[in-house]
Amino acid sequence: MSQLQQGLPDTFIAKSLETTPNIFQRVEALAKDFATRAGVHDKEASFPFENFTALHEAGLLNLTISQELGGQDLGLEIVCRVIEGIAHGDASTALVLTMHYLQHAHAARSRRWPSEVYKRVCRESIEGIALLNAARVEPELGTPARGGLPATIAERTTEGWRLTGHKQYTTGSPILSYFVVWARTTEDEPQVGNFLVPRDLPGLQIVETWDHLGMRATGSHDLILENVLIPPEYAIDIRPVSAVPPFDPLIGTWGSLTISALYLGVATAARDWLIKYLWERSPSNLGEPLATLPRFQTAVGEIEALLFANRRLIYGLAQDSDKGEYEPNVGLQAQSVKYLTTTNSIRAVEIALELTGNPGMLKKNPLERHYRDVLCSRIHTPQNDVICQSLGKSALKVK
């Protein structure tokens, strides 16, 4: 049985393999390959273009595109398994892939895209390497999840829309074919929404600003738009500010659980390196591997408990979502899972560092990279303070 299948019910494994033959084996093979150069990309902050060529050739870029448009239309459970597996090899690659999956999942569920535009994007995503991601965060505004309107503007013209603005942390920018740009219109009563911007248009510039502690190979650079003209049908979904609908809880569930699965993959990779190290390290004064000492066994057991809890939380709620057996507050439940599992993943890697001391912090060993990467789990929306406040308001019945 594949490592990615462990913990799945037998009936689910049979169904998943029937609909997606060998997908888990493909993921494991790719992750092993990605891991061989993840350290180099991390050190150089270089983008792993070759990984996405491999993902395309393996048929793994279209998992959240509907079958009627040529995709595989897989459920949240399997998508999370794929993300966890890829993150085990290279977390940065997994994050770019996750954002691509989420954009297609959102588009398929919301059905707000103009039909012909979305068909074209899907066709390109299936036939080649045409990735997309949202561009939302701005220098002045910060994360949109905390409120406010974008400074990026979209001006209606006779030819279409002209966009001008500055976006930050645009994950995957070196390879993206399309940017889903959040902007407001210049009308007397401004509207707000998303605009599809192809990367090859005049006035679009990627400024290489990404120099981060973790996730260094994600290419999360700044996107600069200066009077970028897009066709009128590339306005995906614009509405008056007062008419913007509340966020879809199922889309929020997908976002929270896929991110949780990604950092579970990072923590599991750290655990696997630790186990290998403890069996290989035999101090002369001990005469046998560190793995034989009760103190180390107890600490590894704590890591195992944390990872077990993560798997049950992530995949239990993912299965409920796939079966349609979820409660009205599923979005908040998924946020709780993100809070708990990312905290557990960070703690699991911290334990590994505490056990190994200096060797764990050496650049030649991947553990310090896993630690830097797993810390980034706190950054993704929604952040921990927002999650806990929402949970508190819910419990206290405060609006």
Phi, psi of 199 (to 5 degrees): -75, -20
**How far apart, in Å, do the first and last CA atoms of the chain sit?**
48
Q: Which domains does the chain have, with CATH numbers?
A: 3-129 (1.10.540.10), 133-243 (2.40.110.10), 249-396 (1.20.140.10)
The pTM is what? 0.93
In degrees rounded to 5, what are phi and psi of residue 169?
Answer: 55, 45
pLDDT digits (tens, 9 = 90+) for 348-367: 999 999 999 999 999 999 99
Nearest CA among 241, 155, 238, 158 for reference residue 195:
238
Alpha-carbon distance 171 to 61, whole Å?
16
**Structure-token match 């050496």, residue found:** 362
Q: Which residues of the chain have pLDDT under 70?
A: 1-21, 142-147
